[in-house]
Chain A
Amino acid sequence: MNKKRNIISAQLQQFSAAALLLLIFKIFFGSPDSFYLRIILDLLTAAAIFFLLLALIRFENSRSSSQLSLVLNVGILLAVMFFIILFSDILLPAVFDNINLKMKNPGLVYTIVAFIYVLILVCFISYYLLTLRHFFFLNQRKNVRVYFNTMLVFFIMASLSVNFLQDESVSFISTTVFVVSVLLMIFNSLRISWIAFLSKKEKLYLLLLSFVITTLFIINIINSSGENFYSQILASFSPSLKHFNQIVMIYGSIYFLVLFFTTLFHLPTAEAFDRKAQEVTSLQYFSKLITEVLDFNDLAETVTDIAQKLSGSQSSWIIWKQGNNFNPIASKNIGFMESEKLTRHILNKISFGKLISTKTFNLGEKSLDGSSENQFSVVSLSPIKARGETHGILVAAKSIGQVFTQDDLNAIETFSDYASVAIENSRLLEESIEKERLEKELDVAREIQRKILPLKVPEYPNLKIASVFIPAFEVGGDYYDFFKINENKLGFVIADVSGKGISAAFIMAEVKGIFESLSKTIEGPKEILIKANDILKETLDSKSFVSAAYGYFDLVEKKLVFSRAGHCPLFLLRGGDSKQIKPSGLGLGLSDTEYFEKTLEEYSIDLKENDTIVLYTDGVTEAKNEKLEDFGDKHFINVLQSNLNLSADELSNKIIKEITVFSSGHEQYDDITLVIFKWQQ
């Protein structure tokens, strides 16, 4: 950037130098008659214009202005020039009395004033020329540079020839050169293509501007050939310059006249072009969006927004399938109630899943009741599909009197394909984020469960204990624990929290805390469970509960005392038989304490040699095979019955093996917990 600026200022210096030389020349020689001096004068003038043009080109390249603003600049400069010419006719005679005499016999002041006057005009001319060059270069033609420079050469030749070849015998040369110049101008002004990319509004604006500019150019041409001061000052400065000025003006008027008509002829198609342009921009915008928008709702809003613009519709929305419901989402320029009403109306006539491609649908008279502000007559419907399944319908609605053209439908069809891809992407992303979140959550839940469960079982000489815990993928909420109440008493609890995952894990932690503390102060299982229910009824939400069984072994009294709060029954294997023990009791957190207490029983067993007590959670009996059949109570009892003489460890291994064999081929759905006590005196 700085470098560029340096180049520009270097060229401005060169221009200043040339202009200064020109001024000095003027002061000393005035308007010379000598042939050589005139050549020197024109060379200096040409050099000044040349350097100015170079500086302006650099400057123009360094900033990118729109064509319209360039046209406007030309118009403004032309208007300024018009007024300068107008006022110079009034002002100059007032400042210099007898101006005609001054011109023939100029003083220093007049020379300087005239010089500045000419300098300003030179700047204007340079700018016109530059702008015209800029427009010319916009044409994607080959060799634009060659064409333009050739034309410039002819401009210069035409200007000089008027000055130097005034002799009658050679005047045909200057005429020829002039005619060729004009022909080149016309040739170079044809095929203006850049206006095609303007919107209709801009074209109208350009039409007006080019008309004004053409008029101003023509006025200036007339002025410059007339007998006013403007033309006289120029002529007295340098006839070549005056002529060059005229030629540029002619070029300008021709170019802008052609521009005027080109724009005029482009107007009828402007609207169609506008639409195509908008389609292209929308699609570009949208394909960019596909990679950017991660939020489904944002995306849906954008989709309807673009669909509405693209098809020139009044309103737009998406009918989105959620479960078995079809709801309007991302409604644009239409109220929710209204779009819902129309959605029902549409889906009454058209089957959601059967829409294959974009089609129009006449709403008919029925929907045209006067209740709504927007009265729609026709909608276009495009399916939004992913993996062969229709997820939604993109609706665009037009009001009475409007129709969907084939162009509209094509545009919206293409667009809905894009929309399908984008929406599917965002949905997949959301799903994978959700999945990741769930997996993280389950990791935490498993970690909690792992820390809550006892690391090892207590060991006693006459009470052998075995426990197995197999977690399900989605933490099932099983919990068991042992509490050494005193030397002779061992408390135990087995529980299953309703629900799964992290919420179940948190309740498990709470349950552990409750039993851990209650077992230290209260002995009776019934009493402990009542207290536990009391606490859990308060803390659990209404749809959560905990099934639990709590009890203790008295190693001295040889007794097992326990209560069951909604948990799986306990099995007692004794003397070759198995007995299911199921005292009454509600799950914890299901009912108020009064009713809970009333329905809760306590059960006591006097232990005998080789008594085996089996506790389990429903993960055991509800383990499923590939036919989705349960392992079941019967199967469980069978296994117990036929393995009465095994040790606690052997029995638990045997049961787990049976379950594993049974449910191979089906994913384990719930935690499996098994706790076995064997009394051996």
Chain B
Amino acid sequence: MAEFSTSIKEMGEISVINLKGFLDAHTAPALENNFTQLINDKKYKIVVNFQDLAYISSAGLGVFMAYIENIRDNKGDIKLTNMSDKVFNIFDLLGFPLLYEIYKNEDEALKKFSGS
């Protein structure tokens, strides 16, 4: 199946996860591990950058749902940025814009975190 990889960079107390490739049922565990690790490290302010993500399936969307409650309970958030139109459409269909803050670029999301 298609490849998927993630990388995390630390921007102060905010963690930015960069996604690359195809996020589906088979590759989702890699991203789940990232979230689990961040939560274990008590890093609840997370920005996910979709710049290099080519495709996301419903199982990929599920990953974000799995951790959001825990993260918001700890006064953190997952903010989504740099989505291609195609990826945004998929989020949009399900109504994700109602549940998540989605930004054009990473800076906006970072500003939002430090502002609040």
A residues near B, CB below 8 A? Answer: 477, 496-501, 541-545, 547, 565-569, 584-587, 590-591, 595, 599, 618, 628, 630, 633, 670
Please name 10 pairs of A and B residues whose Cβ atoms are closer than 8 Å in the assembled complex, sorted by A.
A499-B58, A544-B62, A547-B58, A567-B93, A586-B94, A586-B98, A586-B99, A587-B95, A599-B95, A628-B54
C-alpha spacing A281/B88, complex, angstroms: 64
Distance (Å) between the CB of B11 and the closest chain A CB? Answer: 23
Structural contact, B95 and A499, CB atoms closer than 8 A: no
Closest to B92 in A: A582
B39 located at the interface, meaning its Cβ lies under 8 Å from any Cβ of chain A in the complex: no
Distance (Å) between the CB of B15 and the closest chain A CB? Answer: 19
C-alpha spacing A547/B93, complex, angstroms: 9
Report chain B residues within 8 Å CB of A496: 58
Interface centre among A496, A568, A587, A591 (most CB of B within 10 A): A587
Structural contact, A545 and B95, CB atoms closer than 8 A: no
Structural contact, A542 and B69, CB atoms closer than 8 A: yes
Secondary structure of the A contact surface, majority rule: loop
Structural contact, B65 and A542, CB atoms closer than 8 A: yes
Excluding A500-B59, A543-B62, A568-B93, 4 further A-B contacts by CB distance (< 8 Å) are A545-B61, A565-B95, A584-B95, A590-B96
Report chain A residues within 8 Å CB of B2: 628
Closest to B58 in A: A498
Report chain A residues within 8 Å CB of B62: 498-499, 543-545
Structural contact, A543 and B86, CB atoms closer than 8 A: no
Structural contact, B95 and A498, CB atoms closer than 8 A: no
7 closest A-B pairs (Cβ-Cβ)?
A543-B62, A586-B95, A543-B66, A498-B58, A566-B94, A587-B94, A542-B66
A-B contact count (CB 8 A): 68
Q: Known contacts A500-B25, A542-B69, A543-B66; decide if A599 and B86 are in contact (CB<8 Å).
A: no
B8 located at the interface, meaning its Cβ lies under 8 Å from any Cβ of chain A in the complex: no
Q: Known contacts A499-B58, A545-B58; decide if A590 and B65 are in contact (CB<8 Å).
A: yes
Report chain A residues within 8 Å CB of B65: 542-543, 545, 590
B63 located at the interface, meaning its Cβ lies under 8 Å from any Cβ of chain A in the complex: yes
C-alpha spacing A628/B21, complex, angstroms: 12
> Which residue of the partner chain, among B61, B63, B95, B99, contacts A585 with CB atoms under 8 Å?
B95
Report chain A residues within 8 Å CB of B99: 586, 590-591
Distance (Å) between the CB of B103 and the closest chain A CB? Answer: 20
Q: How large is the interface on B (under 10, 10 to 19, 20 to 34, 35 or more residues)?
A: 20 to 34
C-alpha spacing A35/B94, complex, angstroms: 123
Structural contact, A590 and B93, CB atoms closer than 8 A: no
Report chain B residues within 8 Å CB of A587: 94-95
Interface centre among A586, A630, A633 (most CB of B within 10 A): A586
Closest to B67 in A: A542
Report chain B residues within 8 Å CB of A585: 95
C-alpha spacing A565/B63, complex, angstroms: 19
C-alpha spacing A567/B54, complex, angstroms: 21
Interface centre among B89, B90, B98 (most CB of A within 10 A): B98
Report chain A residues within 8 Å CB of B58: 477, 496-499, 545, 547, 618
Structural contact, A566 and B93, CB atoms closer than 8 A: yes
C-alpha spacing A567/B66, complex, angstroms: 20
Structural contact, A499 and B25, CB atoms closer than 8 A: yes
Structural contact, B98 and A599, CB atoms closer than 8 A: yes
Distance (Å) between the CB of A600 and the closest chain B CB? Answer: 9
Distance (Å) between the CB of A203 and the closest chain B CB? Answer: 57
Report chain B residues within 8 Å CB of A633: 89
Q: Known contacts A568-B93, A586-B94; decide if A498 and B69 are in contact (CB<8 Å).
A: no
Structural contact, A545 and B66, CB atoms closer than 8 A: no
Structural contact, A590 and B69, CB atoms closer than 8 A: no
Q: Known contacts A496-B58, A498-B61, A542-B65; decide if A547 and B94 are in contact (CB<8 Å).
A: yes
C-alpha spacing A16/B32, complex, angstroms: 88
Report chain B residues within 8 Å CB of A569: 93
C-alpha spacing A670/B59, complex, angstroms: 12
Closest to A541 in B: B66
Report chain B residues within 8 Å CB of A618: 58, 90, 93
> Which residue of the partner chain, among A498, A568, A595, contacts B59 with CB atoms under 8 Å?
A498
Closest to A477 in B: B58
Interface string of B49-71 (1 = CB under 8 A from A): 00000110111011101110100
Report chain A residues within 8 Å CB of B59: 498-500, 543
Report chain A residues within 8 Å CB of B54: 628
C-alpha spacing A633/B25, complex, angstroms: 23
> Which residue of the partner chain, among B25, B55, B57, B95, contacts A590 with CB atoms under 8 Å?
B95
C-alpha spacing A362/B95, complex, angstroms: 59
Distance (Å) between the CB of B80 and the closest chain A CB? Answer: 14
Distance (Å) between the CB of B27 and the closest chain A CB? Answer: 12
C-alpha spacing A547/B95, complex, angstroms: 10
Closest to B61 in A: A498
Report chain A residues within 8 Å CB of B98: 584, 586, 591, 595, 599
C-alpha spacing A633/B92, complex, angstroms: 14
Interface centre among B25, B61, B89, B95 (most CB of A within 10 A): B95
C-alpha spacing A185/B14, complex, angstroms: 93
